[in-house]
Amino acid sequence: MRFGIVLPVVFRYPGTFSPWERDGGIAELRRIAEAADRFGFTHLTCSDHVGVPEPVAEVRGGTYWDPLATLGYLAACTERIRLATNVLVLGYHHPLEIAKRYGTLDVVSGGRLILGLGVGTLEEEFALLGAPFADRGARADDAIAALRASLGVRVPSYHGQFYDFEGFVIDPHAVQYRVPLWIGGKTKRSLRRAVTLADGWVPTALSIPQMGEMLGSFDLPPGFDVVLGPRKPLDPIGDPAGAVAMVEQLEGIGTTIVHSTFVHQSAEHYIEQLEALAKLFELPATA
């Protein structure tokens, strides 16, 4: 079993974040990222929203650090841990924009990019950005195929339903031969999209039985990552047995990477929780 982390501070879901995160900044994020890297965690995440309507922010949160700026900074502070978008909303970006901007991140990080991608559900934000909403699913499928043809390619060529390009130099571009693509979502359609077009599934807002039922209805390809998080934050210091039981539940439905969140009252406490979980599951720490 591998373990990644959902970064604190960069996203604050109402009613669940710790009070210290209101004043937390890049210094705290750097210490957490460096600790996660040192303790053997596989990835850290940052999400993608440009603007959230005020009524929606009260329910879903309004704080979303820009993933490219945040992950670019943390790339310079770390050595091994992978940098994952969780998730980029495909409709907000042209595939070549993603290939160029995040391909550059792959270069500066030494090939540590993971692109988590999603279709998006916030119609007001689509309207704000002038992005089509009604056919966003079909557009997302075409964008994923266009990304597959473009990531790591200096002069990509793609001819699809919504995206059509050739003859443009994209340099720098990703250094990974195949940048991992994870698909977010909470429907069978999102899992089907992940199995068909990508390398992993990273759902949200589903119970363990719901995720297990969905996964049981698909034949997953070899090497496919199932990136699932616990329904409540882990507390490996205060309740190590509970943390083990939760991870075993996730493993039992086919999880390959635990998308970890923690009980924490400060940045220092968060780092202590990272270390406790790493020791509990014997992660490959560095000196």
Report the 10 Å Cβ neighbour count for 164. Answer: 11
Band of the pLDDT at 287, cuts 50, 70, 90?
A: low
Report the 10 Å Cβ neighbour count for 175. Answer: 16
pLDDT tops 80 at residue 24: no
| All residues at 6 or more sequence positions from 169 whose CB lies less than 8 Å from its CB, including other chains | 154, 155
Going by C-alpha positions, the residue among 278, 285, 284, 277 that lies closest to residue 240 is 277
| Residue % of the chain over a pLDDT of 90 | 93
pLDDT tops 90 at residue 226: yes
Name the token pair of 17: 């974040």
| Pairing assessment for the beta strands 158-159 and 164-165 based on DSSP bridges | antiparallel
pLDDT tens digit string along 194-218? 999 999 999 988 899 999 999 999 9
Going by C-alpha positions, the residue among 175, 199, 198, 191 that lies closest to residue 253 is 191
Mean pLDDT of the chain: 96
| Pairing assessment for the beta strands 2-5 and 257-260 based on DSSP bridges | parallel
Rounded to whole angstroms, what are the CA distances from 145 to 3, 148, 150, 191? 28, 5, 9, 16
Name the token pair of 275: 């270390």
pLDDT at 261: 96
Residue 122 DSSP class: -
Q: What is the mean pLDDT of residues 17-31?
A: 92
**CA 74: distance to chain centroid?**
15
Reduce the DSSP state of residue 113 to 3 states and report it: strand
pLDDT at 115: 98
Are 75 and 43 in contact by the 8 Å Cβ rule? The answer is no
Give the ranges where the chain is alpha helix by DSSP (H).
Answer: 26-39, 54-60, 67-77, 95-108, 123-129, 136-150, 188-197, 208-216, 240-252, 267-280
Q: What is the mean pLDDT of residues 39-57?
A: 96
